[in-house]
Structure 1
């Protein structure tokens, strides 16, 4: 896809993503978007880094179909994948999947963002190491896969910068960082409400 041939609403939505101001703990870069999901797509990958340690990572994809999509109930769709490693005792909480899903919706609610047709999965997987890897501690990873339709504003363009900021709030919360203050036009500075962040400080183990 040639970017200069894309529809104006999509170009404006992408420009807003590129110009968004994010938390300093989040390192973010554009990446190759998936093909065949929509006529137009743009993707970002991010990691929460603290003291040179990756605490969580994720990917956010913006999809656009100018003709609209019945399943989306709109012309834009946001798709995400987030991962973080947890302490085993936290991963044993039976309510963890419900809590993590509430963080996704809560991050958008905290910034006053409307959305529709939200769907996704929360998965936790444990690893135990043997043989030459037996000195490693057991590890448990949480993975959130989700998609939702952002509200379209003037000219049919969603406020993608705000949705990206909410997504980064979620990524930091999964990583175990404290909530960052939100600057609102009427309320001034306030902290993000929601469940306490996961108390973990070990990043995902990569082979």
Structure 2
């Protein structure tokens, strides 16, 4: 992946429409905001192939949090747009995400872990003053124990957040997609165990964990 900080690699533009000239101006503006966002230096981000069946227009990104050449967390963010609106979204835009990271094994037993991880998502959005609605999702934790030729590996616990939310639209019917991307990167960095770059949000609960590199 190419280092982010507002810079995206040259390659597939991440859209699901081959006819880019027909893209609605509101969607194009939202995509431009994603591509010009200023992000933390630990983020590596690239456009990726967007889904074709979720909405008439879609743009997708994949990202990883990298520190000292270690991949600490990764995820995928998809911006959907339906100019006709969508009843379930209560709007014309929708953001869909998958975020994954590995925790220390003892964290799996914490009964508050799912609630805390969900608070990281909502807290990231609230921490940047973003207005959103219709948020929904799941938090899944799974433990792995290794045997045979892999028995030297330590047990691992993976946390996975799948979520979607409707970004409230501003002037011209365009949401602040760049700010939502920055909030999503805040979530990735928090689940990776990195300290916040600004004052932590008072409504977000932290867990005292430190993860090593992800194993694949």
Q: Check whether TM > 0.5.
A: yes
- Maintained 8 Å contact 1:180/1:192: no
Q: Are positions 1:45 and 2:55 aligned together?
A: no
Describe how 1:12-51 pairs up with structure 2 within 5 A: 12-51=29-68
Tell me, in whole angstroms, the C-alpha distance in 2 between the residues paired with 1:17 and 1:197. 30
Q: Are residue 6 (structure 1) and residue 23 (structure 2) matched?
A: yes
- SS of 1:24's equivalent in the other structure is coil
1:196 aligns with 2:206: yes
Deviation at 1:90, TM superposition (A): 1.5
**Partner residue, 1:108:** 125
Q: Is the 8 A contact 2:70 2:214 kept in 1?
A: no
- For the pair 1:172 / 2:182, whether they are aligned, the reply is no
Measured after TM superposition, the shift of residue 205 of structure 1 is 1.1
Give aligned pairs, total. Answer: 198
- Contact 1:56-1:174 at 8 Å conserved across structures: yes
Mind listing any 5+ residue stretches in structure 1 that lack a counterpart?
Answer: 182-189
**Aligned ranges for residues 138-157 of structure 1 at < 5 Å?**
138-157=155-174
Structure 2: gaps spanning 5 or more residues: 1-16
Q: Contact 2:120–2:187 at 8 Å: present in 1 too?
A: yes
